[in-house]
């Protein structure tokens, strides 16, 4: 805009000054989905408030830093699905006679750490991703703090900043040599970085280093903390780094050490993960792992009833449950409930809510009518429950009607569900099911399950496909770790996860699931683009 004015224009100096003043300021208001602020008196007497876009919501006109400067308490609430899932799991255990207090779990439980080291973490919190599964057998968590490190280290910042591999190398060296002493950049940093083997992983460590090596005051360290925030101001960050370097020089810190600390600080600014945050997440991670080890039926039921959440689909969770010896029973309008339920320590039954196109009101009517008296036929069920056309078809195709009297298999239920209902006054007979229509094969039942439920209580489809001669030489996922390195292998399965993160430079990561487990594949960028459809 200044370029549109002639250099002699009298308003130009004022415009340039104004431009410099607003440069870098927020351009619009963004509402934090879980941000809450609290002050000692009426909020509207302290900060301007305006209506948000969402009805019955308000936002303040200051950003988080302004609120903090004024001493207003700022709280970020995280809506984590795992909290609801674990709450449901604990309630299931309580109803079955087992009280669980997550605050009193044995944080040294060996069975939990064995499971973590084996990367058997599907369904758990924060340690279930492909990257976490690849790292866990190397890191080999032995105590609670190791879990906090695992949670913090698989982040874009540590990976881009090349902190992950140095830490893992030092971890392995420490395991082989108990007397190993990591390089902590400076002797003053040893008490701060020693617990993470000389690799700065947490925000608190960066602040501690600045206070020790550069003699930052508490206020200066707090300024560094703000500069390290995820949405940082580059100019603000550079000013802090310049001051950090000047103060280290005054403290007679060697030039090469200064460069390492400056680099570590700049890299850390890419992600800024607080240790307190990591420890809180680690407790949730440990608790979810504990439930999976000691209360697997309740654990999987809690997860299934709180979908969607996490990395994996309900079907992958069911396959994982079967690998742990859990028996999975199908949906059933006679014996099943509205949601997935635990029948005993080793058995769960899928709920009717797993069926697509079956509404909550219809499920409620099924439960209500069943409590009055049992259904004596499929027609009796349809007369009393009165499901809609799509609901009848979903119930029949999903196998939920198989438990009714006189219903022998799905195709019979699908046939009868299409027939018009007759008024009992005329005592009309329902046409018999034609015997020439065959029952569904196992493959057809699986196909119907996936179409109607998105999951199946039956065997994994890969098990059926492998039985053909052409596919018998495919390697199973669980056997890959015992094969010698460097040999070509052929694997097959259902692609349950595809990832192309921005840090991967175009490479693709694919997880293939078969009846024995999951095989994680790395697809180079060139190969991915060559075969992409």
* pLDDT exceeds cutoff 70 at 160: no
* pLDDT exceeds cutoff 80 at 407: yes
* pLDDT exceeds cutoff 50 at 227: yes
pLDDT in the model for residue 149: 94
User: CA-to-CA distance for 314 and 137, rounded, in angstroms?
Assistant: 25
In DSSP notation, 231-266 reads: T--HHHHHHHHHHHHHHHHHTT--HHHHHHHHHHHH
Are 497 and 459 in contact, with CB atoms under 8 Å apart? no
pLDDT tens, position by position, 445-478:
999 999 999 999 999 999 888 877 566 678 899 9
Name the band, by pLDDT with cuts 50, 70 and 90, for residue 425. very low
User: CA-to-CA distance for 352 and 525, rounded, in angstroms?
Assistant: 43
How does the average pLDDT of the chain come out, rounded? 87
State mean pLDDT over 164-183.
88
pLDDT tens, position by position, 351-390:
999 999 999 999 999 999 999 999 999 999 999 999 999 9
User: CA-to-CA distance for 213 and 264, rounded, in angstroms?
Assistant: 14
Name the band, by pLDDT with cuts 50, 70 and 90, for residue 408. confident
Q: What SS3 state is found at 347? A: strand
**Residue of higher predicted confidence among 4 and 141:** 141
Name the band, by pLDDT with cuts 50, 70 and 90, for residue 432. low
pTM of this prediction? 0.85
What proportion of the chain, given as a percentage, has pLDDT over 70? 91
pLDDT in the model for residue 23: 74
Lowest-pLDDT choice from 84-93, 177-186, 265-274: 265-274
State mean pLDDT over 132-143.
93
pLDDT in the model for residue 341: 97
* pLDDT exceeds cutoff 60 at 423: no
Task: Give Rg (Cα) of the chain.
Answer: 30
Q: What SS3 state is found at 496? A: strand
């Amino acid at each position: 805009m200044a370029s549109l004015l002639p250099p002699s224009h009298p308003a130009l100096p004022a415009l340039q000054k104004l431009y410099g003043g607003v440069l870098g300021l927020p351009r619009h208001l963004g509402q934090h989905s879980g941000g809450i602020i609290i002050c000692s008196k009426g909020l509207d007497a302290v900060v301007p408030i305006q209506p948000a876009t969402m009805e019955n919501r308000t936002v303040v006109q200051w950003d988080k830093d302004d609120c903090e400067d004024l001493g207003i308490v700022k709280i970020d609430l995280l809506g984590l699905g795992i909290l609801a899932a674990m709450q449901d799991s604990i309630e299931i255990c309580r109803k079955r006679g087992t009280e669980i207090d997550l605050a009193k779990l044995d944080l040294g439980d060996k069975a939990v750490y064995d499971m973590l080291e084996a990367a058997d973490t599907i369904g758990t919190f924060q340690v279930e991703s492909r990257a976490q599964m690849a790292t866990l057998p190397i890191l080999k968590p032995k105590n609670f703090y190791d879990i906090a490190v695992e949670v913090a280290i698989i982040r874009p910042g540590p990976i881009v900043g090349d902190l992950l591999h140095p830490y893992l190398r030092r971890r392995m060296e420490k395991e082989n040599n108990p007397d190993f002493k990591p390089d902590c950049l400076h002797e003053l940093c040893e008490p701060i970085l020693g617990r993470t083997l000389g690799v700065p992983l947490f925000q608190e460590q960066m602040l501690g280093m600045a206070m020790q090596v550069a003699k930052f005051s508490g206020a200066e360290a707090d300024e560094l903390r703000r500069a390290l925030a995820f949405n940082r101001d580059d100019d603000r960050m550079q000013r802090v780094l310049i001051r950090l370097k000047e103060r280290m020089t005054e403290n007679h810190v060697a030039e090469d050490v200064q460069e390492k600390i400056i680099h570590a600080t700049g890299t850390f600014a890419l992600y800024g993960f607080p240790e307190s945050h990591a420890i809180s997440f680690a407790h949730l991670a440990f608790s979810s792992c504990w439930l999976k080890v000691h209360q697997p039926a309740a654990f999987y039921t809690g997860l299934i009833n709180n979908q969607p959440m996490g990395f994996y689909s309900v079907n992958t969770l069911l396959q994982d449950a079967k690998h742990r010896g859990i028996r999975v029973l199908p949906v059933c309008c006679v014996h099943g409930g509205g949601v997935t339920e635990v029948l005993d320590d080793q058995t769960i039954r899928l709920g009717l809510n797993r069926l697509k196109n079956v509404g909550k009101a219809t499920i409620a009517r099924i439960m209500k009518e069943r409590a009055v008296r049992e259904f004596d036929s499929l027609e009796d069920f349809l007369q009393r429950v009165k499901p809609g056309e799509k609901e009848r078809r979903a119930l029949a195709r999903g196998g939920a009607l198989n438990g009714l009297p006189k219903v022998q298999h799905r195709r019979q239920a699908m046939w009868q569900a299409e027939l018009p209902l007759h008024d009992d006054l005329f005592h009309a007979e329902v046409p018999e099911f034609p015997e020439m229509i065959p029952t569904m094969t196992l493959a057809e039942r699986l196909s119907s399950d996936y179409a109607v439920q998105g999951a199946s209580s039956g065997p994994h489809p890969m098990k059926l496909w492998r039985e053909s001669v052409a596919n018998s030489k495919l390697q199973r996922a669980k056997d890959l770790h015992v094969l010698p390195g460097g040999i070509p292998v052929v694997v097959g399965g259902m692609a349950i996860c595809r990832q192309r993160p921005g840090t991967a430079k175009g490479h693709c990561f694919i997880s293939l699931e078969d009846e024995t487990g999951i095989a994680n594949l790395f697809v180079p960028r060139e190969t991915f683009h060559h075969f992409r459809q």
